[in-house]
Amino acid sequence: MVACPVYGGRIPSLVAERLQKITFDGTRVVTVVTYGNRAYEDALLELNDTVLARGAIPVASAAVVAQHTMVPSVAADRPTAIDFQNLSVFARFALQKFDDVHAVPVEVPGNRPYRQWSKMPVTPVVSNACVRCGSCVRQCPTMAIWITDPKKTDPSKCILCMRCVALCPQGARSLPEPAQQAIEKKLAPVAKLTRENEFFF
């Protein structure tokens, strides 16, 4: 399985870069993207194109709703028990595709060229509640947080995955307030919608 979150309707550049280092040599894969209730747009297509270019055959794909990382009140209850049940059914059907001797790449929605998107020019800020425990440093997927000073984040490496915010035991990390308000305003129209997971075979 190859899975990743959706950022602005695209896959994270970090994911694309890491996949470029893998040669699949005809391996059949299942691809999954997760998104925070707004839209996944071109992300699933981009993920499938990326693994195809590295020699994989995406035989089944899914776009799955999960709690929004920047505004946790959006899709706060996702994934639900029903989501997990549907994913289990998806997994069973996907496994059957691995045995298909004539397997072809699954078709998924999306557009080429992919939508334009750029990361917000901010990084999480740190309050005086920080005790320099180092949890954020150890678990940052891009090593963007300084080892010698956890209050500093390298903006060129940070992808705003919000992992450091979610795992900080002191609640010392957060988005800058103007950025948080802007994101909440943007997501307000979809905050109460219930998106369905989408599966492709």
Q: Delineate the domains of the chain, giving CATH numbers in brackets.
A: 2-116 (no CATH), 125-185 (3.30.70.20)
Residue 109 pLDDT:
98
Q: How many helices (H) and strands (E) does the chain have?
A: 6, 6
What is the pLDDT averaged over residues 32-61? 97
The mean pLDDT value for 177-191 works out to 94
What is the per-residue burial (b if ≥16 Cβ within 10 Å, else e) of 101-117?
eeeebbebebeeebeee
**How confident is residue 99, by pLDDT bands cut at 50, 70 and 90?**
confident
Q: Please, which pLDDT band fits residue 29 given cuts at 50, 70 and 90?
A: very high
Would you tell me how many other CB atoms lie within 10 Å of the CB of residue 43?
29
| Reported confidence tier of residue 119, pLDDT bands at 50, 70, 90 | confident
Q: In this structure, are residues 2 and 44 in contact, taking their beta carbons and an 8 Å threshold?
A: no
Mean of pLDDT over the chain: 95
Task: List the alpha helices (DSSP H) in the chain.
Answer: 13-19, 43-53, 81-98, 135-139, 163-167, 177-187
Model pLDDT, residue 103:
83
Contacts of 45 (CB under 8 A, 6+ apart): 108, 109, 110, 111, 112, 114
9-13, 79-83, 190-194, range with the lowest pLDDT: 190-194
Q: Which residue, 65, 48, 70, 71, is CA-closest to 200?
A: 48
Dist CA 67 CA 71 (whole Å): 8
Q: What pLDDT sits at residue 100?
A: 81
Query: What does the chain come to in residues?
Result: 201
Q: Using DSSP, state whether 126 is helix, strand or coil.
A: strand
